[in-house]
């Protein structure tokens, strides 16, 4: 079930209405859990079995870890949990990729090939697997007391606003909220909007999330699809524009989903963390990953990077190795393919290079130039050039096409004859790209702009929301487009 469909609007309206009518907390949790399973079943059908397995597997093994007094036994149980959870993820997401590599090798050495499994990739499996694993690992580390209620843990894993595309929640942040009263007013809608700040803010966040997805991302997509369907033959200008367009598309698409999830959760009385923080104004590769897909980058940092650094004796080499390994994991988390591994290697190389410069040449970061306005602008432009370069293998999977796009993006050919015809034939997508950068710059200069809009007097707030809705409807063609991160 897509957020940008009438089915979701109906489901969310029914859920909110039911929670307003029935104030018993236990009933609300059960009903929300049932609604989450219905949402997931509507989206993935019988693959809901995998979600249920992940929930049961992690709940009872985490409890076994907590109940055990033997450190060795705790470790063995954790290993069993990791094998089961990651094994399930690997089977559905990476098995055919592994078989393909084996078959390529077998073809050259004369071995028999293995048939492909052709398993359907379950929507959201990377998100809910990592979310459940963080709970079990935190219990093993002694940082979290396991939940006594299976119902509460199942709700944490399956909470439908963020179930299929994040953000990746942490149990110690989310589970305590289940013991609080759900603040959904039973008064008139007007009174609820006036007195319930969470409701008004949640609706505002959702509205701008829909705008990012349906107004920006979906209207830029045709340009991206046209160029990257077969990029060979396009000049550098076209390749650069299409690459920037894809960067905007994937950001608006994914952060739009996140905003809808955060807003919906807030309306239901739950706070989930932000996943983006103006990433296109990052001043270094390290800064970028504190602003982009924050829940994934912090997950990998806490459960992969820090443990690796702690165990490796050669500290300097250990840091570089841990960075590269962590970002290759981030790349492969997105999908089974060499292109995703390349994405991870590129970002890992950026972070490793930036780390080496900071450690070995600290004088560079202390130069007054980089603290000036011009220096900050230069830092942003260099960072974004590297970031958009790394978007190329994320979008282009063919090796031949990828190498061609890399060449045109890095080595400018200065062909200008097609610039005007290309711009004129893609006026609408390019206009949306310009609008995006205007909005992004305003958001960068004025913090909490969405929150400030939600605090406006009701009549002005309604006017702005009607403007957002009108813009979406005017450019909507009636065919809902999948969110890009549904495939991960």
What pLDDT does 362 receive? 73
Of residues 2 and 471, more confidence is placed in 471
241 pLDDT band, cuts 50/70/90, is very high
Do 99 and 43 fall into the same domain? yes
Do 205 and 159 fall into the same domain? no
Tell me whether residue 192 is in a domain: no
Q: Which of 125, 147, 182 lies at the terminal end of a domain, its last residue?
A: 182
What pLDDT does 194 receive? 53
Tell me whether residue 188 is in a domain: no
pLDDT tens digits along 268-284: 889 998 999 999 999 99
Do 158 and 89 fall into the same domain? yes
Q: Which of 150, 182, 214 lies at the terminal end of a domain, its last residue?
A: 182
pLDDT at 76 > cutoff 60: yes
Residue 35 makes CB contacts below 8 A (sequence gap 6+) with 11, 15, 160
Tell me whether residue 187 is in a domain: no
Q: CA-based Rg of the chain, rounded to a whole angstrom?
A: 24
pLDDT tens digits along 111-157: 778 888 888 888 889 999 999 999 999 999 999 899 888 999 999 99
348 pLDDT band, cuts 50/70/90, is very high
Do 124 and 155 fall into the same domain? yes
415 pLDDT band, cuts 50/70/90, is confident
Q: How far apart are CA 251 and CA 293, in angstroms?
A: 10
Do 178 and 259 fall into the same domain? no
Tell me whether residue 261 is in a domain: yes
Q: Looking at 131-135, 192-196, 343-347, 369-373, which range is the least confident one?
A: 192-196
How far, in Å, are 70, 93, 180, 300, 350 from residue 25 at the CA level?
37, 37, 9, 34, 48
Instruction: Taking residues 244-272, report their average pLDDT.
Output: 92
Do 168 and 213 fall into the same domain? no
Do 165 and 226 fall into the same domain? no
Do 141 and 76 fall into the same domain? yes
Do 96 and 236 fall into the same domain? no
Tell me whether residue 190 is in a domain: no
pLDDT at 187 > cutoff 60: no
How far, in Å, are 52, 64, 397, 413, 461 from residue 217 at the CA level?
33, 45, 21, 28, 24
Q: ∠ CA(80), CA(84), CA(90), 5° rounding?
A: 135
pLDDT tens digits along 274-314: 999 999 999 999 999 999 999 999 999 999 999 988 887 66
Q: Looking at 29-33, 78-82, 165-169, which range is the least confident one?
A: 165-169
Do 157 and 212 fall into the same domain? no
Q: Which of 182, 213, 243 lies at the terminal end of a domain, its last residue?
A: 182
pLDDT at 189 > cutoff 60: no
Tell me whether residue 19 is in a domain: yes
Our count of domains for the chain comes to 2
Which letter, b or e, does each residue of 331-357 get, where b requires 16 or more Cβ atoms within 10 Å of its Cβ? bbbbbbbbbbbbbbbbbbbbbbebbee
pLDDT tens digits along 6-44: 888 888 889 888 888 887 888 888 999 999 999 888 877
What pLDDT does 238 receive? 93
Of residues 448 and 65, more confidence is placed in 65
Residue 14 sits in which domain range? 6-182
Single out the catalytic residue among 293, 334, 354, 440. Answer: 334
Q: Are 314 and 301 in contact (CB under 8 A)?
A: no
440 is an active site residue: no
Do 364 and 276 fall into the same domain? yes
Tell me whether residue 1 is in a domain: no
Do 281 and 367 fall into the same domain? yes
Tell me whether residue 449 is in a domain: yes
Q: How far apart are CA 50 and CA 120, in angstroms?
A: 12
């Amino acid at each position: 079930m897509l957020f940008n469909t009438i089915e979701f609007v109906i489901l969310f309206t029914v859920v909110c209405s039911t929670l307003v009518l029935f104030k018993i907390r236990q009933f609300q949790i059960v009903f929300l859990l049932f609604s989450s399973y219905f949402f997931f079943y509507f989206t993935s059908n019988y693959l809901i079995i995998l979600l249920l397995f992940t929930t049961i597997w992690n709940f009872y093994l985490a409890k076994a870890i907590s109940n055990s007094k033997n450190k060795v036994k705790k470790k063995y149980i954790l290993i069993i949990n990791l094998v089961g959870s990651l094994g399930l993820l690997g089977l559905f997401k990476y098995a055919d990729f592994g078989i393909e590599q084996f078959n390529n090798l077998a073809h050259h050495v004369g071995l028999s090939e293995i048939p492909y499994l052709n398993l359907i990739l379950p929507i959201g499996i990377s998100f809910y697997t990592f979310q459940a694993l963080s709970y079990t690992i935190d219990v093993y580390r002694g940082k979290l007391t396991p939940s006594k209620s299976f119902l509460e843990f199942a709700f944490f894993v399956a909470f439908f606003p963020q179930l299929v595309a994040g953000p990746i929640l942490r149990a110690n942040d989310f589970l305590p909220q289940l013991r609080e009263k759900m603040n959904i007013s039973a008064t008139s809608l007007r009174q609820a909007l006036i007195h319930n700040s969470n409701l008004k803010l949640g609706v505002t966040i959702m509205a701008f999330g829909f705008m990012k997805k349906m107004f920006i991302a979906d209207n830029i997509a045709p340009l991206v699809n046209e160029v990257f369907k077969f990029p060979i033959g396009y000049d550098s200008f076209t390749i650069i524009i299409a690459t920037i367009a894809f960067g905007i598309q994937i950001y608006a698409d994914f952060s739009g989903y996140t905003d809808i999830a955060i807003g919906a959760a807030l309306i239901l009385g739950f706070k989930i963390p932000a996943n983006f923080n103006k990433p296109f104004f990052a001043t270094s590769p390290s800064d970028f990953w504190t602003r982009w897909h924050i829940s994934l980058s912090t997950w990998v940092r806490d459960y992969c990077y820090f443990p690796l650094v702690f165990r490796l004796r050669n500290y300097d080499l250990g840091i570089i190795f841990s960075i590269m390994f962590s970002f290759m994991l981030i790349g492969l988390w997105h999908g089974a393919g060499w292109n995703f591994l390349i994405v991870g290697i590129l970002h890992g190389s950026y972070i490793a290079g930036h780390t080496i410069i900071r450690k070995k040449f600290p004088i560079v970061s202390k130069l007054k130039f980089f603290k000036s306005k011009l220096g900050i602008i230069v830092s942003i432009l260099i960072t974004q050039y590297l970031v958009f370069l790394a978007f190329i293998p994320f979008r282009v999977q063919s090796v031949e096409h990828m190498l061609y796009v890399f060449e045109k993006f890095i080595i400018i050919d200065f062909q200008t004859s097609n610039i005007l015809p290309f711009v004129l034939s893609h006026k609408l997508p390019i206009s949306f790209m310009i609008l995006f950068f205007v909005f992004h710059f305003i958001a960068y200069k004025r913090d909490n702009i969405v929150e400030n809009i939600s605090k406006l007097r009701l009549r002005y707030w309604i006017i702005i929301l009607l403007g957002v809705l009108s813009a979406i409807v005017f450019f909507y063609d009636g065919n809902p487009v999948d969110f890009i991160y549904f495939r991960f």
